[in-house]
Homo-oligomer: A and B are copies of this chain.
Amino acid sequence: MKTLYGIGTGPGDEDLLTVRAIKRIQESDVIFAPNNKGRNMALDTVERYIGDKKIVLLDFNMGNVTDDDYKEATEIIEENIPEGGKGSFLTIGDPMIYSTFIYIMEKVDEDRMIIEVVSGIPSFVAAAGAARMPLTIKGDDFLLCDEPEEGKLKIADSIAILKTNKNKEEILEKLENNGFRYKYIKRVSLKEELILEDKEDILNDKNYISLILARKEK
């Protein structure tokens, strides 16, 4: 049998790795990560624990990944783990939250390869800590989404919006109209971390690794 670990590497700072993530990486024969133009943030985070292990970067045609692409990636993973050996698939944040690993996991034949998920600190959790903005207090409902729809804002006390690049202005206006105060957190836990509250500053910032946290004023 082969073993595949789905490892959450957290938001980026290597000190936010769990003890288990480090152990599993160290006992792996091979490390997998999505190829992001020859780089990968999760790989940077765990760099010191990889040593001279084999690294396999998997190509996904971002924005347009097909079922066959995941199938092919899963085959590459299986081929690259030696018989009786172990591989770690790295994902930023946590493997069960908007990750490529979810699709890989669903393609794996578990009679041939054991799967173990190693949780990581999600970016919105780290952002809440950095911004000191509670995600939930007693009785609260928290909503996590890619894109907020107006109706959904009405039911949440607290919200994290992960993909904020496309229509930031519209998102901020929706939040304001529904009585939320917000913070924009960029590259949380990394040395370039920045927390913005001013609307103009937020609109002027362009960064892929950013998110918005909002809480309803009470």
A55 contacts the other chain (CB 8 A): no
The answer, among B118, B129, B130, B156, for a CB contact under 8 Å with A94, is B129
Copies of this chain, how many?
2
- Complex interface: stretch among A35-43, A96-104, A202-210: A96-104
Provide the A93-122 mask, 1 if CB < 8 A to any CB of B, else 0: 011111000110100000000010111111
Give the dominant DSSP class at A's interface.
Answer: mixed
A15 contacts the other chain (CB 8 A): yes
Residue contact A128 to B96, C-beta cutoff 8 Å: yes
**10 CB-based A-B contacts, threshold 8 Å:** A13-B20, A97-B125, A97-B128, A97-B142, A102-B134, A103-B137, A117-B130, A119-B121, A120-B121, A121-B121
User: Which A residues contact B (CB, under 8 angstroms)?
Assistant: 6, 8, 10, 13-20, 22-23, 94-98, 102-103, 105, 115, 117-122, 125-126, 128-130, 132-146, 151-152, 155-156
What would 15 more interface pairs be, CB under 8 Å, given A96-B133, A117-B129?
A6-B129, A8-B129, A13-B20, A15-B20, A94-B121, A94-B125, A95-B129, A96-B129, A98-B140, A117-B128, A117-B132, A120-B121, A140-B145, A143-B144, A155-B155
